[in-house]
Structure 1
Amino acid sequence: MLDVHYPDAPKIKLIMDNLNTHSIASLYQAFDPETALRLAKRLEIHYTPKRGSNPVTKAKGVWIGNLRPMMLALN
Structure 2
Amino acid sequence: MAVSFLAAFNLLDSPIKISEESLVKKGFSGGYQYEVWNTSDTTGYYLKVWKSQAYPNNEALRVIGSFNSKNEALEYLSNNYT
Pair member with larger Rg: 2
TM-score range, shorter chain: under 0.3
Q: Normalising to structure 2: TM-score of the pair?
A: 0.24
Q: Normalising to structure 1: TM-score of the pair?
A: 0.26
Q: Which has the higher contact order (CA 8 A, sep 6+)?
A: 1
More helix as a share of residues? 1
